[in-house]
């Protein structure tokens, strides 16, 4: 049986923990904007529903970090701050921007999780199954975002590129540090 490189597994868990926690923080920022400046009960309900999945994902990776004695990324406090800021800022820009935030992040995560799924061997079957399930949840969130008005037209294309670039940078850093 082929074995998965243990250093890769540590990187996967570290970065996935940071990413799922970041997703929770983005939704917290969006909900903060929706509870203070932007009144949209339908959008608030959708975000609250998606946040439940992200919390489940985050808790799984939090447990894996503890169980496997893996150090989380040193950048968690910065990612927390940036996540809340991104969520809040995108929602202040309006529903299309808030939903584009979700769609853009999920498109990066789709590719990220797919790469992990293709790397994990049978010795990490349970981890692989969880990542497959979480990827399905993320794809569902992306579909919701587009259904709710996410767009890359006009100036939104710039926001899409900024969010995707920031997400990829956070992934690369969190894997290693």
pLDDT in tens, 1-52: 688 889 999 999 999 999 999 999 999 999 999 999 999 999 999 999 999 9
Distances from the Cα of 27 to the Cα of 14, 50, 61, 90, angstroms:
20, 8, 18, 10
Report how far Cα 16 is from the mean position of its chain's Cα atoms: 8
Mean pLDDT in residue range 81-110: 97
Q: Tell me the C-alpha distance between 8 and 175, whole Å.
A: 9
Proportion of the chain above pLDDT 90, given as a percent: 95
Q: How confident is the model at residue 127 (pLDDT cuts 50, 70, 90)?
A: very high
pLDDT of residue 2: 83
50 token code pair: 């998606």
pLDDT of residue 74: 96
Q: Give pTM, 2 decimals.
A: 0.94
pLDDT of residue 28: 98
Mean pLDDT in residue range 148-163: 96
């Amino acid at each position: 049986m082929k074995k998965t490189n243990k250093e890769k597994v540590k990187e996967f868990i570290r970065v996935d923990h940071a990413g799922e926690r970041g997703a929770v923080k983005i939704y917290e920022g969006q909900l903060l904007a929706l509870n203070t400046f932007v009144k949209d009960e339908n959008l608030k309900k959708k975000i609250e529903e998606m946040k439940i999945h992200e919390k489940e994902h985050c808790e799984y990776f939090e447990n894996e970090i503890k169980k496997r004695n893996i150090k989380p990324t040193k950048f968690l406090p910065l990612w927390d701050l940036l996540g809340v800021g991104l969520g809040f800022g995108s929602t202040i820009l309006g529903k299309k921007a808030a939903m584009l935030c979700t769609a853009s992040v999920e498109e990066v995560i789709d590719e990220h999780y797919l790469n992990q799924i293709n790397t994990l061997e049978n010795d990490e079957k349970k981890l692989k199954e969880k990542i497959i399930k979480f990827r399905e949840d993320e794809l569902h969130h992306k579909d919701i975002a587009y259904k709710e008005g996410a767009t890359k037209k006009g100036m939104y294309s710039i926001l899409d590129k900024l969010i995707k670039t920031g997400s990829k940078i956070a992934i690369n850093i969190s894997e290693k540090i």
